[in-house]
């Protein structure tokens, strides 16, 4: 069973099928040595043997001539006939991924007969963005929107230097297919800005620690770096002195970190500096950084999270949801080839229910990264069980035109949910979100239920069926349970301002952030239709623009995102909006109570530290779910004047 400090889904027991056999590893290079070390350790633990020649049960072979066009650097082929199981790769990263594939298969890797199968990631970049501050920020703290303790990388203003922990983390990431990390907050403060220059040696230490598992380091950088760090009087991306400064900065970084991945930039968003200050476009801004990285093959990830955060709440024509499309769709084809436009999967901000961002289908000549949030900012902050695999899968399978989002993407990114907590993710069951992101980033059309089964099997090897059944029961439907007791029908937010935890129905209603629900005595929701509202629905191609335009055809789960409707509006389910609100709040609490009961019944099957932590979190989840139920039901009873048809007590 996994202990609190083992990489979450690689406890020693999962290596048992490998260790009992004769295993050959062929090839040379740093990552091949990592593979060889893993195999040697497994065989040493469980009585297997590392061999050079036949006979062997498993061959892991790096071959430069092994169909490199088919496999690429990270792909591998796996086969089993009447003889041994073979894993062949043309690149070192592929051999490492092939090893972890065998570990996932367990005993199945050595039974039966199957023809050669190719496994290759859908995109080349699969990155976790850590919103970590080097120095503890007076407002943001150590990790902004992080719910698993402090930073893995930084402590008391300096690099932690805990290379063993970092190496274990890189192993954990490689095991599920993640190949890159950003080691600092996308809101780049003065201290973090210096990681690009005089503190780059600390970043190099981190890169050295994670490199053996094929993980590359990226940096979040400030668009204003030439001014902040070099004292230039401008950061204008078309200024030759500015472009020269960025080129020199990139040269220094690559001298220290030859496999450096690139930059991620938040510009002209929520007060961050950007090209608008110089009358330039986002394509101009990204182009200056892309030119600096181009000689080294680095990538600029330019976030599309740009909107008016000083909005007048009385102005219903300004719509935060429209902003990314309005800013970036006209720039299609103007971004440099080394730029990836990083787009949040929904148009607002990682809510429990949002439509897919129309930006993802609006820039066919631009490379795109889809950004998710594993850290659960608005989905329970890792104090609530909320497995997000079904949500992410819905996004990735959503079709904009002829292609799915998963097919349109050139990269996948997620805000990290990992910190220095002994359980890695704070809530032990939140490890399932980290694993699921990695596996879906590798294969966007994977069945999330099958991915959950993998996580259960790897985290609890040889678990009795009662434990597996219990874990499925508490995880599989947890996203929809969370949705039931929080903001209804896609309207979003209704959270406490600032920290975003717990209910406050009007918390942001009269603020400048553009996160409104417009509830009044007559109805609730935001009119985003073309005919009478903000026009946001028209940013989608058909059939979605037509479907979302009318409350008669809009899916129930997104109704209040797209329309302001009376409380008596009848949903496709047959319920009125107000009765749906009452019923789902009560149902959500009941489902949390049942999940807590199921988890309590697994105490004899789970490591005591795991069980105690999850039990503690369930107590808080239940308290919070009841608070959500009571505040929302009371609020809407008072707004609408319509009582619960079932006569239940509403406080």
* SS3 call for 570: strand
Please report the beta strands in 3-151, taking only residues with DSSP state E, as ranges in sequence order.
Answer: 22-26, 49-51, 58-62, 76-80, 85-89, 114-119, 125-129, 132-137, 141-143
Phi, psi of 515 (to 5 degrees): -120, 65
Three-state secondary structure along 494-547? CECCCCCCCECCCCCCCCCCCCCCCCCCCEECCCCCCCCCCCHHHHCCCCHHHH
State the catalytic residue, choosing from 38, 74, 349, 583: 349
Find tokens 């499925």 and name the residue: 472
Query: Among residues 538, 542, 531, 575, which one has the least CA distance to residue 556?
Result: 575
Q: How far apart are CA 298 and CA 292, in angstroms?
A: 9
Q: What is the dihedral of CA 31, 32, 34, 37, to 10 degrees?
A: -170
Find tokens 């997000």 and name the residue: 388
State the catalytic residue, choosing from 132, 377, 421, 527: 377
* SS3 call for 300: strand
State the catalytic residue, choosing from 54, 233, 248, 270: 270
Q: Is 349 a catalytic residue?
A: yes
Prior bond of 543 cis (ω within 30°) = yes
Q: How far apart are CA 162 and CA 636, in angstroms?
A: 51
* SS3 call for 85: strand
Q: Is 270 a catalytic residue?
A: yes
First to last CA, the chain: 44
Q: Do residues 485 and 584 make contact, with C-beta atoms less than 8 angstroms apart?
A: yes
Q: Which residues are catalytic?
A: 270, 349, 377
């Amino acid at each position: 069973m996994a202990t609190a400090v083992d990489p979450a889904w690689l406890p020693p027991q999962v290596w048992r099928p490998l260790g009992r056999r004769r295993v050959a590893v062929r090839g040379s290079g740093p990552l091949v040595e990592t593979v060889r070390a893993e195999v040697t350790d497994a065989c040493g633990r469980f009585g297997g043997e590392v061999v050079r020649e036949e006979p062997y049960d498993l061959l892991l072979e790096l071959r430069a001539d092994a169909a490199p066009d088919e496999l690429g650097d990270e792909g591998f082929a796996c086969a089993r006939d009447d003889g041994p199981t073979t894993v062949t790769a043309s690149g070192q990263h592929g051999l490492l991924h092939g090893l972890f594939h065998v570990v996932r298969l367990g005993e199945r890797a050595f039974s039966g007969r199957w023809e050669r199968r190719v496994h290759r990631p859908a995109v080349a970049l699969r990155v976790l963005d850590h919103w970590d501050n080097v120095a503890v920020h007076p407002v943001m703290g150590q990790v902004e929107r992080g719910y698993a303790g402090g930073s893995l990388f930084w402590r008391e203003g300096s690099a932690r230097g805990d290379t063993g922990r970092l190496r274990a983390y890189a192993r954990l990431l490689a095991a599920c297919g993640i190949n890159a990390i950003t080691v600092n907050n996308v809101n780049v403060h003065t201290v973090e800005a210096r990681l690009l220059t005089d503190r780059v040696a600390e970043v190099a230490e981190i890169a050295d620690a994670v490199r053996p598992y094929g993980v590359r380091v990226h940096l979040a950088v400030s668009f204003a770096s030439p001014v902040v760090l070099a004292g230039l009087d401008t950061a204008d991306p078309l200024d030759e002195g500015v472009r020269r400064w960025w080129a020199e900065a990139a040269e220094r970084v690559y001298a220290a970190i030859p496999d450096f991945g690139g930059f991620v930039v938040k510009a002209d968003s929520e007060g961050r500096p950007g090209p608008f200050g110089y009358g330039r476009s986002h394509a101009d801004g990204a182009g200056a950084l892309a030119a600096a990285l181009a000689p080294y093959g680095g990538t600029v990830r330019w976030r599309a999270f740009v909107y008016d955060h000083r909005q007048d709440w009385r102005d219903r024509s300004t719509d935060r949801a429209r902003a990314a499309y309005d800013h970036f769709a006209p720039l299609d084809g103007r971004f440099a080839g080394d730029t990836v436009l990083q787009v949040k999967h929904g148009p607002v901000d990682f809510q429990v229910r949002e439509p897919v961002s129309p930006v993802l289908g609006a820039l066919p000549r631009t490379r795109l990264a889809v950004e998710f949030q594993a850290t659960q900012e608005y989905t329970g902050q890792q104090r609530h069980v909320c497995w997000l695999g079904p949500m992410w899968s819905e996004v990735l399978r959503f079709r904009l035109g002829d292609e799915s989002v998963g097919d349109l993407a050139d990269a996948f990114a997620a805000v990290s949910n990992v910190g220095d907590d002994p359980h890695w993710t704070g809530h032990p069951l939140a490890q399932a979100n980290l694993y699921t992101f990695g596996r879906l980033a590798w294969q966007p059309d994977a069945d999330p239920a099958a991915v959950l089964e993998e996580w259960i099997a790897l985290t609890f090897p040889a678990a009795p069926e009662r434990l597996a059944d219990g874990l499925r029961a508490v995880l599989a439907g947890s996203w929809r349970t969370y949705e039931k007791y929080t903001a209804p029908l896609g309207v979003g937010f209704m959270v406490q301002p600032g920290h975003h935890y717990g209910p406050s129905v009007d918390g942001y209603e009269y603020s400048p952030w553009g996160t409104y629900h417009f509830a009044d005595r007559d109805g609730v929701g935001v009119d985003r239709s073309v005919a009478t509202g903000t026009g946001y629905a028209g940013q989608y191609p058909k059939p979605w623009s037509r479907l979302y335009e009318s409350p008669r055809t809009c899916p129930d789960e997104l109704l209040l995102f797209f329309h302001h409707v009376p409380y008596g509006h009848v949903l496709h389910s047959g319920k009125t909006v107000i009765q749906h609100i009452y019923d789902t709040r009560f149902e959500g609490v009941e489902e949390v109570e049942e999940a807590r009961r199921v988890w309590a019944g697994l105490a004899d099957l789970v490591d005591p530290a795991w069980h105690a932590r999850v039990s503690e979190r369930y107590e808080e989840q239940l308290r919070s779910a009841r608070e959500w139920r009571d505040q929302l039901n009371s609020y809407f009873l008072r707004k609408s004047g319509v009582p619960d048809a079932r006569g239940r007590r509403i406080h």
